Chain A
Amino acid sequence: MLEFRKDIFADERDDSLVEIGQPTARQDILGHVTGTSPYYDDHRFANLLHLKILRSPHAHARIRSIDDSVAARAPGVKRIIRAADVPVNLNTLLSLIQFGKDDEPSLASDVVRYKGEPILGIVATSERAALEALALVRVSYDQLPAVLDVEEAIKAGAPSVNATYPKNTFEYYGKYDHQKLRFGDVEAGFRQADIVIEDRYQMSPIEHAPTETNGSITVPDTNGRYIVYTSTQALFFSLDTAAKINAVQSNQLHFIGGTVGGGFGGKVDTLTEPLCILAARLTGAPVRYRLSRHEEMQFGSPRGAERIYVKDGLAKDGRIVARSVRAYFDSGAYTRLSSYAVVKCVAHIPGPYTIPNVHADVYCVFTNRTPATAMRGFGVTALDFALECQMDKGAVAVGMDPLEFRMLNMYRDGDMKAHRREAKNCALIECAQVAAEKANWPLRDEFRRMSSRQGGSHERAGVADRSRTPQLASAAKPAPSTPPSPVPQRVAYERPTPAAPTRTAPPSPPPRSAPPSPAASPAGSTHGAPRFSSVFGTRRR
């Protein structure tokens, strides 16, 4: 059950949070349990037409010719929609906030850049008639070499995916091919470190798979307006995007939505509305464009794949003295929202830890894969997976309890973050203490007494107080193998006596409740430092 530790913020706000902790009925739940909530597809119109889309069977190909003459005469077909029918056939979602260049057509005309890319639409009297007509369209392709891996895509000579970004990387501020974070001197930090842990992490794409697939219905209204019933998660964002692609004023579109059958980020891409509106404009009739389950799973944009390399430098006493991150976001064939995911990722590095030397390069990379999009913490989730795996490995390497190791490095009030913002209102240490208590995870006294309010300072991050100029913690410690002495504010950590190190056997994961036992002796020179090949797997260099 819920329990509140209001004492942590007692002096920061008055205690008027009367709603929190009280059960509150959802405003829409009566509709849900009676089956009357109005999802977009729960609106009925006489003579509704249906739009279905021909999609590329190839990951990368040049379209040589399209022959839809037989399909056009098929029973029930009302209209064929070709690339040339789309008023503005190049768009990028974030152009609405002037971020990125238009790079994605609604219907591909010359080149297809991912398997499933829309090429042509057929509007017919039933979904079945539209599908049967689609099977009569003949497209001839010249297949092109496809690139499906982020690191392959940025090598010299890799096939160029997206004509707007020929080098296969999104361009930030008109000139940078990636986002950077620089704080302190990470190389000096690694020289100063007693232990270096480096590994590679990979997250695969994930499909949101909402129970209701993406879709919309467009109904011509009077005065040249169109009413659009839609599953979108982002009503006004989709409205503006659809208006841009259709070259109409946004006040010609009336979007009705808000009842969404599951989204999780997969319904912000405005996948159906622009062509659905176009179909209604071209036929003068109400049109529905609903993704089948197969289309939703195969071509609906997923959470993007991410590859992340992390290198951590640790001092024997448990402090992280350097962290370097190199990451690649697989945007798929077009930008959509991945450029923004990268910005979020860099803003999250190095995690909630105070580290004096941080270095990050994060790339938004184009490949011939399904364009990626938003999903629950995109940009942060995979990074956290990588960073927290590193934290577990780091704890083993320095012979500390994994929670205590984290607590030692967590942000405290007054710390300087790698983004040169002072940490304020920190409560992560307190959260960890409560979590440990609830889980019966034994913390030693000094960690039970630790506080976010005490011991924080710019110096903890190697920065002179109130100064924006990073001052290297390492500068005062030129000898690389000498462990740095803890800064005075720090709660001193006394490491338990290391067990006799074994040369070959990998250490076992730390026991859940026993006091931490060191996995390998970190006391040797950096040449003998343990290297990790997978979670908790170690070998000597």
Chain B
Amino acid sequence: MKTPIQFHLNGEAVATFVESGANLLDTLRETVGDLSVKGGCWQGTCGTCTVLIDGVPRLSCVTLAEACAGKSVETTAGLRRGADLHPLQQAFMDRFAAQCGYCTPGMLMAAKALLDRNPNPTRAEVIDALCGNICRCTGYEPIIQAVMDVAGSDNRRRA
């Protein structure tokens, strides 16, 4: 049995049908076609599939698609504004904060949720925000530094 659902994906209205019980990860990748979201465990343990739902980081593999009806979903595909990269994307490039890149979309979304909520985080807060995201290439330090760079530039702007 398929159910119609509507939600916003990166600011655009999306309407689609989902199987009852379908998860958001499969719905985004297979039905809507947003391949920027990656799956690593499909069981809520690795953080690779992190997206923002109404600004809050969520594991899309264990989120029912139907539960997202009427909500706003953000993914890495929506970070960029035209030719301009999001400051986090630029910082990840500058800091060499991606090796294989598979964890990167999830890391970016977890970091964005933090900075949207708290533009001036401490290092401990950055680590806490990323602690649910596994990077098996173990590039945690450059990832933390990239997020701190953006936090820092925000501070300078505000200062």
Contact = CB atoms under 8 A, between A and B. Distances in A.
A261 B80 CA distance: 22
A250 to B, nearest CB: 27
Contacts of A31: 101
Q: Name the residue in B41, B76, B108 with the highest tally of chain A Cβ atoms < 10 Å from its Cβ.
A: B41
A42 to B, nearest CB: 5
A262 B100 contact: yes
A456 B93 CA distance: 46
Interface of B is mostly: loop
Contacts of B103: 211
Contact of B36 (A29, A36, A260): A36
Contact of A34 (B80, B96, B100, B134): B80
A262 B136 contact: yes
A33 interface: yes
B41 A37 contact: no
Interface string A202-233: 00000011111100000000000000000000
Given A32-B104, A262-B137, A211 B48 contact: yes
Q: Name the residue in A33, A37, A210 with the highest tally of chain B Cβ atoms < 10 Å from its Cβ.
A: A33
A208 B136 contact: yes
A33 B46 CA distance: 18
B42 interface: yes
B76 A35 contact: yes
Contacts of B48: 211
B82 interface: no
A212 B42 contact: no
Contacts of A293: 40-43, 45-46
B14 interface: no
B85 interface: yes
Given A29-B98, A262-B100, A213 B93 contact: no
Nearest to B35: A42
Given A33-B85, A33-B92, A209-B136, A39 B98 contact: no
B11 interface: no
Interface in A363-403: none
Contacts of A260: 100
Interface in A1-55: 23, 25-26, 28-37, 39, 42, 44
Contacts, number: 93
Interface residues of B, number: 37
Interface string B40-79: 1111011010000000000000000000000000011101
A292 interface: yes
Interface in A257-282: 259-264
Interface in A64-105: none
B82 to A, nearest CB: 12
Q: Name the residue in A29, A30, A210 with the highest tally of chain B Cβ atoms < 10 Å from its Cβ.
A: A29
Contacts of A259: 101
A260 B98 CA distance: 12
Nearest to A292: B42
Contacts of B42: 292-293
A211 B102 CA distance: 7
A261 B38 contact: yes
Contacts of A208: 136
Contact of B93 (A30, A35, A39): A30
A156 to B, nearest CB: 42
Contacts of B33: 44
B45 to A, nearest CB: 8
A35 B77 contact: yes
A262 B102 contact: yes
B27 interface: no
A29 B93 CA distance: 6
Contact of B100 (A35, A210, A292): A210
Contact of A261 (B41, B88, B92, B101): B101
B75 A211 contact: no
Given A33-B89, A262-B100, A211 B40 contact: yes
Given A34-B80, A35-B75, A261 B93 contact: no
A520 to B, nearest CB: 39
Contacts of A36: 35-36
A212 B76 contact: no
Contacts of B43: 293
B98 A33 contact: yes
A476 B58 CA distance: 74
Contacts of B130: none
A32 B79 CA distance: 13
The 10 closest A-B pairs by CB, nearest first: A35-B36, A32-B101, A261-B102, A35-B76, A293-B41, A33-B89, A32-B98, A211-B40, A211-B102, A262-B100
Given A33-B101, A44-B30, A211-B100, 4 more contacts: A32-B100, A33-B89, A34-B80, A34-B89
12 contacts: A26-B98, A32-B92, A32-B101, A33-B98, A35-B77, A35-B105, A211-B136, A212-B38, A212-B100, A212-B102, A261-B102, A262-B99
Interface of B: 30, 33, 35-38, 40-43, 45-46, 48, 75-77, 79-80, 85, 88-89, 92-93, 96, 98-105, 108, 134-137
